[in-house]
Amino acid sequence: MSARRKATTQISRLAHRAGGTAAANRMVPEETPVAFSFAGTTHAVMMA
């Protein structure tokens, strides 16, 4: 089993609106590939 990763990360962003531009930080989810296997055969891989 691998080490536990953070579920979110913080990024900076610029919002462009009619009134101007605003800088801020935003929390976004981290994604990890997940594979579903049955009897040694992979049936699906998705990001979770």
The mean per-residue pLDDT over the stretch 23-44 comes to 88
Q: Using the 8-state DSSP alphabet, how is residue 18 labeled? A: T
> Which of 25, 6, 30 is CA-nearest to residue 14?
25
Confidence check: pLDDT of 1 > 70: no
Confidence check: pLDDT of 25 > 90: yes
Domain range summary for the chain, segments of one domain joined by + = 8-47
Q: Are strands 41-47 and 8-17 parallel, antiparallel or unpaired?
A: unpaired
The mean per-residue pLDDT over the stretch 33-42 comes to 87
Helices (H), strands (E): how many in the chain? 0, 4
Q: Are strands 33-38 and 41-47 parallel, antiparallel or unpaired?
A: antiparallel
Confidence check: pLDDT of 2 > 90: no
pTM passes above 0.85: no
